[in-house]
Amino acid sequence: MRVARPGARVCTSAGAFREPRASGVRAAACVPAILPMVVLAVLAFCAAVLAPVSARAADVVAIAAAIEDAGAETLLVFTLSAPVEPRVFAIDRPERIVVDLPRVNFQIPAEEGARAGGLVASMRWGLFAPDRARVVIALAGPATVTDVTVSARDDGAHLLTLTLAAVRTDAFAARVATDADAFRMASLRPAIAPEPAPADARPTIVIDPGHGGIDPGAIAAGGVEEADIVLAFAIRLRERLAESGRFRVLMTRETDVFVPLTERVGFARRAQADLFVSIHADSISSAPQVSGLTVYTNSDEASDRESATLAARENSADALAGFETQEARDEVADILRDLAARETRGYSHVFATTLVDGMDGVARLNKNPHRQAGFVVLRAHDVPSVLVELGYLSSRSDIALLTSQEWKDRATAAMTASIDRFFAPRLGDRADAAAVSP
């Protein structure tokens, strides 16, 4: 038995909405009614005031996620500030349930998603596109969603309750097949950003803050999320680069939103970028001794095992968000592309060396500060690209630096100076050319 607010609609796992079934209070009983509406209202207000770019006043706010292991079934209950109309899909490799929602501002720490219970192995949530949120539930075994309800609580909160039940592997596969087309459509998304304004004479720098939205990146002990750290750093770097007026500076994301890896590359190419700098602060849990700033350039052969592991994990970001990457290949252009790629690789290496030199003494460098690995995000064949690990969230000493404003100021200043140095020949040429022009 499920309860739903009169007029609330509920969707089936194929994504079609239907009227909810009649009364019952099971969903409401899943979470103690201890979170008065005032909390939701305050959170919605704070989100709107403190983060005007990433949250809107009208956003639905999610403040709690509870798992209830009820034997044969597992209930998943989200406490929200307003009713939502979810769409639910089953996907495989690995077995997951994806719940698509309208834009929801998740005020639930990402680390809470690591909790397991019943049929749920782990969860992640966040914005999948600027106007859409997604919850990805990693399953402990094949299971399908047998019921979805949206119900109103007395204090004004709304509970989104999903009921999961274990099924046989063949039944799960059948559900995946049924959902496949609708899921593919749901995972298409509009371009991350408006087409960049036409390039001007200045070199174009694209700053790429890693992760975001449904993909928090690494999560440090204590709950600090990589996606937040690198966005703050990128915004500071953009300010510094823009101050000089010498560069056209663009970012692949400016808010806490998911951006697929291939789209980050596509954005840099469309912007005709002269340099692409992807900013990260990952964790290498198998090697907590690895610390310090590292600059990576692209290579099919990783320079060492840790770099290979890191690239593999970075490259899985899209799949973890439930986004299927389709790599288009244009065979005809392969030779030209290879030639361009070779030249680009040379520039990427020069910049990596310049950056490592520039950061020496400002940041604590990794013992091998320039490494290589096959990162998807570095694959633009015509844009010199580097991925900077500012430090590692698996290293306690690095966390202290990464969260310090003073360090951020120094490190972005040094990075800006390195970018200036890299473009000095080109900017110098232009200055000379301007001097002799009539």
Interface ranges with Zn ion (CB under 5 A): 210, 217, 280, 282
- Residue (204 or 283) nearer to Zn ion, CB: 283
Per DSSP (E only), the strands in 306-382 are 365-373
| C-alpha atoms less than 13 angstroms from C-alpha of 203 in its C-beta half-sphere | 22
Q: How far is the CB of 217 from Zn ion (least distance, A)?
A: 5
Q: How far is the CB of 230 from Zn ion (least distance, A)?
A: 7
Distance CA 37, CA 156 (A): 6
Q: How far is the CB of 329 from Zn ion (least distance, A)?
A: 26
- Residue (146 or 316) nearer to Zn ion, CB: 316
- Residue (370 or 430) nearer to Zn ion, CB: 370
Beta strands 60-70 and 104-106 are: parallel
Q: How far is the CB of 125 from Zn ion (least distance, A)?
A: 18
Q: How far is the CB of 372 from Zn ion (least distance, A)?
A: 16
Distance CA 74, CA 84 (A): 21
For 275-287, b/e burial (b = at least 16 CB within 10 A) is bbbbbbbbbbeee
- Give yes or no for a cis peptide into 369 (omega within 30° of 0): no
- Residue (227 or 355) nearer to Zn ion, CB: 227
For the chain, give the number of residues: 438
Let me know: does 75 contact 94? Beta carbons within 8 Å: no
Q: How far is CA 301 from the centre of its chain?
A: 25
- Residue (120 or 231) nearer to Zn ion, CB: 231
Q: Which residue is nearest to Zn ion (CB)?
A: 280
Distance CA 145, CA 120 (A): 12
Distance CA 167, CA 302 (A): 41
Q: How far is the CB of 261 from Zn ion (least distance, A)?
A: 11
Extract the tokens encoding 150.
């949206």
Q: How far is the CB of 262 from Zn ion (least distance, A)?
A: 16
Q: What share of the chain is helix, strand, coil (3-state, %, to 5)?
A: 35, 25, 35
- Residue (122 or 178) nearer to Zn ion, CB: 122
- Residue (169 or 286) nearer to Zn ion, CB: 286
